[in-house]
Amino acid sequence: MGYRPREYDHIVVGAGALGTSTAYHLSGHAGRTLVLERFYENHAFGSSHGRTRILRTAYAEGTAYVPLVLRARRLWLRLGRETGEEIFRPTGVVLAAPSNSAALARARASARRYSLSSESFDPEGARERFPALQFVRGDAALWDPAGGILFPERAIRAYRRLAHDRGVAFRWNFPVTEWRRTSGGRILVSTKTREYLAHSLVLAAGAWLPTLVPSLHLPLEVEQQTMYWFRARDQRDAPFRAMPAFVWYSPEGGYYYGTPDVGNGVKIGGNVGQRVRDLDHRPLPSLRELRSIQRFLKSRLPGLAPEPRRGARCLYTNTPDKNFIVDFHPGGANVVIVSACSGHGFKFASAMGELIANGVRRGSLPRLLAPFGLPTVRRD
């Protein structure tokens, strides 16, 4: 009797934020689900780590994201209640920029469109309200009180644990080498050592997505960003623990972001990254990145010591317009491509996992995901 691949209803490739959320939401209905992850749980080689992540509701990247983030916020809070862990902390988020910033104007527009609670500040008011941050003449700030920080490793672990309790199987250190449709319409998924059959497949492989859909020639670029943690110059200084998260848009179109000290120092990152051409040989953190962040600290957070406590690398899988890709594979409605979150996707993972799971079961994706369809692609 020959070898027969084990069969599942659903296979999810990737156990980062989107993969574990999707698996959890698939587990709420009858059916067997398998998750295949090329590394181990909460590894630091992809895009779903970093100790804290920012959740903003006044969204400068586009109003299409606001309903998603509002749903995501509710689901993160529900996950915390379900597990008894703090997954989301409502610190609020400050969006700061020159007063004529287009990004700040878009964030205000999204707040108005969805009647979000927000408050605008001039430099004097911002300095008084947010003492850890340094504002100067010509600056403006938008306060997003519903925003806050997420604890990514904790969130992924919680979704994985709940999904496992509902019967979802996880296989660690199982990189997928290829997949194909069988004559019966099912999906055969291959790893180096085993094969599996499923009725549906969700590809949530982050930076490794292009290796799984090479015929689509997706216009994706992988970029490595390095984030750093900094201590206060004066360890008796409390504002950095009580400060809100922030995003600071620069006049040149870039940005810096930060989260409060939750025990490891203040986390700071920016958009000065490095192109990654070989995922097996990623570049070391560059001095250019660090110097850019240190200049920002000197002008905007002078209470922080300039030398970082530690750093961590993170992969951004960028589309040309920095929007997401969530769509069915052109070959049929039982393979979903969900990736390319362009560096701002973690906050949405709870809601996107729910919507993707619903789409997998129905064979059609919900309208909230319509703006993120596949671009026009060239196929072999």
Q: What's the predicted TM-score (pTM) here? A: 0.96
Cα separation, 197 vs 190, whole angstroms? 9
Domains of the chain are 6-47+153-219+321-372 (3.50.50.60), 89-147+221-318 (3.30.9.10)
Q: DSSP for 220-280?
A: -EEEEEEEEEE-BSSTT--HHHHPPEEEEE-TTS-EEEEE--SSS-EEEEES--EE-S-TT
Which tokens in the block code for residue 127? 């300095």
The alpha carbons of the chain give a radius of gyration, in whole angstroms, of 21
> What amino acid is encoded at 214 in this protein?
P
- The DSSP symbol for 304 reads B
Phi, psi angles (nearest 5°) of residue 304: -95, 140
Q: Reduce the DSSP state of residue 197 to 3 states and report it.
A: strand
Which tokens in the block code for residue 158? 């919680």
> Is 76 in contact with 147 (CB distance < 8 Å)?
no
Sign of the dihedral through C-alpha 8, 12, 14, 17: negative
Which tokens in the block code for residue 113? 């469109």
Q: What is the pLDDT along the chain (380 residues), one digit of tens a residue?
A: 457 899 999 999 999 999 999 999 999 877 899 999 999 999 999 999 999 999 999 999 999 999 999 999 999 999 999 999 999 999 999 999 999 999 999 999 999 999 999 999 999 999 999 999 999 999 999 999 999 999 999 999 999 999 999 999 999 999 999 999 999 899 999 999 999 999 999 999 999 999 999 999 999 999 999 999 999 998 776 789 999 999 999 988 899 999 999 999 999 999 999 999 999 999 999 999 999 999 999 999 999 999 999 999 999 999 999 999 999 999 988 999 998 799 999 999 999 999 999 999 999 999 999 999 998 544 44
Cα separation, 375 vs 380, whole angstroms? 16
> What amino acid is encoded at 17 in this protein?
A
> Is 323 in contact with 372 (CB distance < 8 Å)?
yes
- The DSSP symbol for 21 reads H
> Is 130 in contact with 244 (CB distance < 8 Å)?
yes
54 forms beta bridges with 149
CA distances from 306 to 88, 133, 271 (A): 28, 15, 18
Q: Which long-range contacts (CB under 8 A, 24 or more apart) does 234-240 make?
A: 234/303, 237/303, 239/131, 239/132, 239/303, 240/132, 240/266, 240/303, 240/304
